[in-house]
Amino acid sequence: MEITNVSEYEAIAKQKLPKMVFDYYASGAEDQWTLQENRNAFSRILFRPRILIDVSKIDMTTTVLGFKISMPIMIAPTAMQKMAHPEGEYATARAASAAGTIMTLSSWATSSVEEVASTGPGIRFFQLYVYKDRNVVAQLVRRAERAGFKAIALTVDTPRLGRREADIKNRFTLPPFLTLKNFEGLDLGKMDQVSSTNFADDSGLASYVAGQIDRTLSWKDVKWLQTITSLPILVKGVLTAEDTRIAVQSGAAGIIVSNHGARQLDYVPSTIMALEEVVKAAQGRVPVFLDGGVRRGTDVFKALALGASGIFIGRPVVFSLAAEGEAGVRKVLQMLREEFELTMALSGCRNLKEITRDHVVADWDRPRVLPRL
């Protein structure tokens, strides 16, 4: 059966993958309310299309931190992609490069920064978790720089791992034939490093995070990071105006509005609902991006209309990777691109600058004052 949209890959991935692996990718925290809401909130935003505009030529190109990309659709960091497909992050890197867009590599990738760089040219960002041992962090950042990565996406919403009940039930841990490749030489590449007796009711990953990730992480560390790297830093995991203002003051080059795929704190708003608050607080001083719940080209348009400079996709990548490897990821990027282009044309927008707040109406908007006839 021919795949005609991004969401169809999830069911195929569910059939193909071991339950522990699929559940790890698919699940959210606790009641998974935010997981549903990340999707559902998009359906509460409707279009106000403009007609009779010459849309014979549509330009979707944009620049992110000065790098030109083919479309405002990028790849979010997702961990342990070799659980989905033997080629893992290699396949994702090649698909992103072929599509002319940016891939973000997870700290917890099953391929190293050097291995991903070896797949060929491409604009790549590196997602960073801050470990208790800051030498590990400094080494990792230097390696990413040397491997040609262009920015650091600092994850700031994970002082502790969210309670993902599927992972607890499945006793989730990294399969024995895989390692967290970036940490292999540092004895931090296996999840069984941590004594499981202290965390008997937890997933292997939660135990690993409790043992390794620094809970003291604060804004001063964002400043510290700028002393060890010249790469621009994107702060990933901002949901409020207050934190947006601090991020800008702390020297962030950009903000990613993210709730970690609804895997951390449940009952936070969907990212599309949090987006405008962050955009308004940023006041155009830094670009604001969004991840979470994007499955359609219409979702991409809605995010841009609400002020995002671009979006990142996570789960669609691992699901399509599981289903069809590199070809699957290429197809996801192509489908989203084509849907987004069609949405632009049918809304009367010929380039990204023409997408405005007036092209959408959200159910939280005040009633419009209709123009007098």
pLDDT in tens, the chain (373 residues): 899 999 999 999 999 999 999 999 999 999 999 999 999 999 999 999 999 999 999 999 999 999 999 999 999 999 999 999 999 999 999 999 999 999 999 999 999 999 999 999 999 999 999 999 999 999 999 999 999 999 999 999 999 999 999 999 999 999 999 999 998 877 565 665 433 334 445 677 878 877 888 999 999 999 999 999 999 999 999 999 999 999 999 999 999 999 999 999 999 999 999 999 999 999 999 999 999 999 999 999 999 999 999 999 999 999 999 999 999 999 999 999 999 999 999 999 999 999 999 999 999 898 877 777 7
Is residue 127 a known part of a binding site? yes
Q: DSSP characters for 317-371?
A: HHHHHHHHHHHHHHHHHHHHHHHHHHHHHHHT-SBGGG--GGGEEETTSPPP-PP
Is residue 171 a known part of a binding site? no
For residue 331, the one-letter residue type is K
pLDDT at residue number 211: 82
Is residue 236 a known part of a binding site? yes
Is residue 315 a known part of a binding site? yes
Catalytic entry in 39, 94, 124, 260: 260
367 falls within a domain: no
Is residue 292 a known part of a binding site? yes
Q: Based on the residue annotation, tell me whether 85 is a catalytic residue of this protein.
A: no
What residues make up the domain containing 93? 6-44+71-187+201-335
196 falls within a domain: no
344 falls within a domain: no
54 falls within a domain: no
369 falls within a domain: no
pLDDT at residue number 201: 59
131 falls within a domain: yes
Domain count, the chain: 1
CATH classification at residue 178: 3.20.20.70
